[in-house]
Structure 1
């Protein structure tokens, strides 16, 4: 079938399998998680933007992570909430909307890595070169790092989806909870070797560079802390880096499981569950383990909360 004629057709999204008894509990639980993600991430984002005292490199770079979490959850959860209440035979989506959704899904996943990489770099400079930190982490450098994190992800994901939309299709069922690249090229009956090669290369390069940069960064930080005899500085460094590391590991493990499970058709339902976790758990945990662990942000939020209580 000609790709042009199929491109604007309607696809059926398989979605997640939920028993009739679990529909409303699952809906309420997921809705509450989404509300928490939105309130916590947007609240911290607004605090950083409004409070000039928080206009420091670490917090400004963190804005990228909160914005990405908001985008990813908004892309994923509302659609899933709708599908939960929709009969499985009526979960339709247009091909164009599916491609757009897949692009944003992979952009969200990729920028999770690139943003945490630039945040690790920030901590590396702050701990290993404290005297040179203001000169290195200037406003211009923050902009370059942020644009680089999003720009690299945009280009890599653009190529990934570009290779997929060139294919013709002979199927119309998306075997996933949401549209992604793998689910899209599985619609084709053509040879998808190029897609698999690029997808595998893309994944290996992303995960290798991400894990490699984080490991090297923290090894270097650990060496500096071991050599330093300042207990207060070491304690602050460990606290700051541990929150970043926890956020990174949660994102890495949930994302890696989704990628691996795509290679095993028998684990489709398990993959869907971990895909849901990737879009709910890290965005929900990041404001707690990263944002609220920051003393300055925590003080500002508690101050706002006390003012509202006193005003009542």
Structure 2
């Protein structure tokens, strides 16, 4: 028994399998991930920059959007860059410390996004249901506190199960995923992981339900207020104010729900890997386009910035 434990304790690195052990397929995956990651980075950095430099975008709505774009960059970077390195270098080994660090950041950024989406729905509720008091209610101090509460909530979600997982012994070093995810890590452990697994499920469900209820309640009041507006023009303007956020919510929660649907034991891992890849690459790429294409102020700010850059380039 002691010799077995010594073997278990010697495991210091994991091997990440990736999507499939097919070199040609991985080249296509690398190209897809690299392009989507680059475009996502450009799109979200553009939104952050526009909100920083444009005085017309200094409202609570765009402050939340700026933080959401930062989270999108952080989330996709923490999950995708490691796999891009694995494909390009061929080195699939990752230390246990690096693996747990990746889990920490992926879950932290992912959970914080859910809480931030809930805060953004509250912001839309105040803007439409209490427009005369919007500036007073959503002042800079309140916005900062709401952002800090999102990050604090994300930390509270990840720290208890991660702290307990640091003492696990591991029997297997192969991770059947393209990044360090909690499920394959727990499957590799020869310790009793029942309590940690239940804790992970509890916090995941708690995050999902809390934020989803907040969003649904906000939009119930928003829709009731919109339906009471006297003119069609006012109703259209109110709907357009919320439409971008609603689309992002549908994408985020839809993908989150789908990844927990188990089609079969045989296909579960493969489906989850593909869905996780799409969540980490496509969703952060779509969000900047959703907010810019459906937001007149952001589009106008973008056009004005391009004009200023063109003027400066002609001048020099």
Q: TM-score range by the shorter chain?
A: over 0.9
- SS state of the match for residue 12, structure 1? strand
- Conserved in 2, the CA contact under 8 Å of 1:3 and 1:167? no
Aligned match of 2:276: 275
CA distance in 1, matches of 2:144, 2:252: 24
CA shift, 1:152, in A, is 0.5
Query: Which whole-Å deviations, capped at 9, do the CAs of 1:92-146 have from their partners, x for residues lacking one?
Result: 0000000000011111221121010000000001100111111110111000110
Q: Please report how far the alpha carbon of residue 190 of structure 1 lies from its aligned counterpart in structure 2 after TM superposition.
A: 2.0
Cα distance in 2 between the residues matched to 1:83 and 1:262: 28
Check conservation: 1:10, 1:92, Cα contact below 8 A.
Answer: yes
RMSD of Structure 2 on Structure 1 (CA): 2.1
Kindly provide the CA deviation profile for residues 242-282 of structure 1, in whole angstroms up to 9, marking residues without a partner as x: 21111011111222222444994642111110001111122
Which residue is equivalent to 2:158?
157
Work out whether residues 109 and 255 of structure 1, in 8 Å CA contact, stay in contact via their aligned partners in 2.
no
Q: Could you tell me the TM-score, scaled by structure 1's length?
A: 0.92
Return 5+ residue gaps in structure 1 as ranges: none
Cα shift at 1:158: 1.1
Distance 1:6 1:296, change over 3 A: farther
The Cα shift of 1:160 comes to 2.2
Preserved CA contact (<8 Å) 2:124 2:242: yes
Helix, strand or coil at the partner of 1:157: helix
Distance 1:81 1:262, change over 3 A: farther
1:45 aligns with 2:61: no
> Which position in structure 2 is the counterpart of 1:256?
257
Cα distance in 2 for residues equivalent to 1:46 and 1:56: 15
Q: Secondary structure at the match of 2:94?
A: strand
Contact 1:2 1:168 in 2 (8 A): no
Give the CA deviation at 1:290: 1.8
| Residue range with higher mean Cα deviation, 290-299 or 137-146 | 290-299
- Measured against aligned partners, the alpha-carbon deviations of 1:23-59 in whole angstroms (never above 9, x if no partner) come to 3333222211111001110011011112222111000
Task: Name the counterpart of 1:204.
Answer: 205
Contact preservation (8 Å) 1:120, 1:244: yes
Which range moves more in the overlay, 190-199 or 301-310?
301-310
Query: Structure 1 stretch 241-250 or stretch 165-174: which is displaced more?
Result: 165-174
In the other structure, the counterpart of 1:187 is 188
Equivalent residue for 1:242?
Answer: 243
Q: Which residue does the alignment assign to 1:94?
A: 95
Segments of structure 2 that go 5 or more residues without pairing to the other structure are: none
Instruction: Determine the C-alpha separation between the residues in 2 that align with 1:262 and 1:5.
Output: 35
**In the alignment, what sits opposite 2:232?**
231
State how far apart, in whole Å, the 2-side matches of 1:3 and 1:235 are: 65
Deviation (angstroms), 1:86: 4.5
Task: Give the count of matched residue pairs.
Answer: 309
State the distance in 1 between where 2:164 and 2:266 align: 22
- Deviation, 1:70, is 0.5
Q: Secondary structure at the match of 2:131?
A: coil
Q: In the alignment, is residue 130 of structure 1 matched against residue 138 of structure 2?
A: no
Q: Distance in 1 between matches of 2:30 and 2:229?
A: 51
Aligned partner of residue 47 in structure 2, secondary structure: helix
